[in-house]
Structure 1
Amino acid sequence: MAGKSDYVTGTITLTNGQASFSGTGSGWQLAQIREGDTVIDVTGATEFMGVIASITDNTSGTLTKPWEGPDVTAEYRIRYMADGQRSTAQARLLIELLGNGRLTAIAAAAEPAGVIEMLPGGSARLVPLTDLVSGANYDVQVANMAARAAFDGQVAGFAVLVADTGDGRAAIFSKLSNASGDWSAAAYVTGPPITLDITEVDEVPYGAPPDVTLTPRAGGYDVSFVIPRGMIIEPGATTTLASDQPAAVTFVPVTGGYRVDFAIPRGPTGDIDGVTPFWVTRLGSDADATAARTGLGAVGAPGSAADNRIAVFDGDGNLLKDGGKTIAELTPANGSVTNVKLADMAQATIKGRAAGAGTGVPGDLTAAQVLAITDAYAKSNILGAVSQSAGVPTGAVIERGSNANGEYVRFADGTQICTRTQSYPSVSFSNVSGSIYFAASAPAAVFPVSFSVLHDASIKTFASGKASWAATGNQPTLSSWPNFYAFAEISGTAPLVVYYFAIGRWF
């Protein structure tokens, strides 16, 4: 077979002293570059070569030893190993593997029927096929741990299957030595018991679908039923599942209701077929009605009753009787509130009780009493004095005020804003600072109310006929704006209006 041409697609990066290499624009895996092929550096006068140990993907691989040539990122050639050379090497490896004495050992062993040859430690051994396919092996099975004691004197390797180790699980124990009672730890072959407990049964309207919820817990499941009113629920099939499978419930429609089929994981004995769970008895037949009502009291039916009337309990709670009223008679016309409940109700009031436990007819509550009871805000109490206790608002939502120092707004969340407007009829911009002019320093202005935390304080100026601005002379305090200088680009006098602004918190 003709040899393949050298592979030259893309560029390669080789680093002196490193076995790993990478490519750009290459497709080494697609081109079937393999172990034994040769990388050739064709960039210099000396062609350095490296044998490939492995190819990771289309753009990376490793050499059998670190690259001995210079660092290079350039064109390259990868020369394929000839198929004949590769086949010769594989054949030589096979001959070496077959020549280590293992085939000789197999050939020397007798081969009766029903055995398989194994080579533990280099010598052939015949193992019965049943030992490999029969699962867990043991010499004897006993019912419990007490019965295992009869075999305490057996030799090392003797195995006993105990059906119930004390918690419902089965396990195999092996003698570790010839010493009496020297048993291994339990090798469990079944899981813990699986139990079902009904924790809740809820009733839903007739015609609604039934439902059941299985909640996993230690040792089994808690079962919650949703049963449609007036529909029968009868027990169905119980199917055994593998121990690692989740329990499942299926509702199958039947005449007048549903049949409940359970699928339960295998328990400690490996089977629950033939076992009647307690819920089957509870839901199964009228004959067991008394047992099904355990804990509910002996409730009896009324002697007689008229159609559509409400059933009520008698004095001792153990007997239902005719309530004497139909649903229609107890339902107000058009779904309205009865006149008794609306009697003596004043306009724009709500029935209730403002204070005291009291009994009897509720009184009329005013809007103010309703707000006090519900701790709500309305247009009558949104504006007012704000207050707080430990950061919780106890007063109005917004407070607005003013004094000789300006105006302020306080909010219930602690935010505070202060403003002030000051007018000067004539201000002289006669002081020179470079190519601009400024007026005499204006004094600090006191806030209309003080801050507990100040976030920002600013001053803006507007001079008639001039472009002007303010520059502060120092820092503001919690109680005042700083003094400032008014600047303009030209000299002269002009009326000046100053706008002060500050924002922070009042608590």
Structure 2
Amino acid sequence: MSAPLSYYTAGTISIAANGTTVTGTGTAWLTAGFQEGDQLFANGFLGIVLSVQSNTSLLLAQPWRGGALSNASYYLMYLNEGSRASAQARLLIDLLGGSGNLQALAGLTGAANRLPFFTGAGTMDTTALTPFMRTLLDDANGAAAYGTLGTIPDGSLPGRISEICPLVSNLNDIATSGWARAPGGTTGNPHSGVVVVFTLVYSATARRQFAYAMGAFSWSRAMNSGTWTAWVRDDPPERGSNANGEYVRFADGTQICWNVVRTAIPEGHTQLSANLYYSNWQAVTFPVGFSVAPAVTQLVFRNAPDYSTPFAFSRQVNTTSCGLVTATTANSVTVGYVQSYSAIGRWY
């Protein structure tokens, strides 16, 4: 088969009847630059190239109608580049222009913090996209989005949540059982800050309330014959210790601190009277502070038996510390004494 010199005819081809895979022998189709749309002629039939897999393999767009071929002559013709470009341009126009979307986008006026959106088929407009909303859009998941949104203000809470725990302005007037929230300063609030209150209503004149606040604070009170009793602290005792001793705090405000302190009374210490001597006072810091100066009591004993009679007292007591003084009836050489003290007062 003779072919125009401008056609590609190197090697031979093999293809099954109704097949789409063409195998070449001695061909270099990929190197020659053949691609989709080029034309294959063999045995008087035409096939359109779908893709070129390699120098020796290509696929046809439709099954081959020219019968089975084995090592047959052929020729390939390049599609005119103008035709190829025109076809691609037409496809692009159909994809972008036929719907009117491209024209609608082109008709918008761009501005800072504005986002285009479709208002219908082939119609568009813009809406505000604030810098804050952009920080939300780049969040990878719900947890990150919640972190960006932050705490929801009371006024923005969904209605179902507000109904479960509504904000009230007077705890004394709650007449239905359930939860409520009250800010500091609200009538009937036992705390200086926000509290969450659960009310049990037995009748118009008999109710019970339980209030809770941050910091493990809790209170309770009751209404008897239409009159509320005073709030009572219900939070469990708090007990702790540190380098300055141990302490316990009770819900009613009572606080007790205690510790063991070792002191020494040197020879020649101050003589108060004929048979009474006392040491310099030793400052101690309470493990936690009091709201007012507490009452301090002490117990002192000698490390080893002697003929002195030790006792102790305190001075300069304030909310955070006091001074311990050890006294004895004998002006002995340096001796060691052990004191234990307890301070009782209020922490609020």
TM bucket (normalised to shorter chain) is: 0.3 to 0.5
Q: Which has the higher contact order (CA 8 A, sep 6+)?
A: 2
Given the two structures, how large is their TM-score scaled by the length of structure 2?
Answer: 0.36
Given the two structures, how large is their TM-score scaled by the length of structure 1?
Answer: 0.25
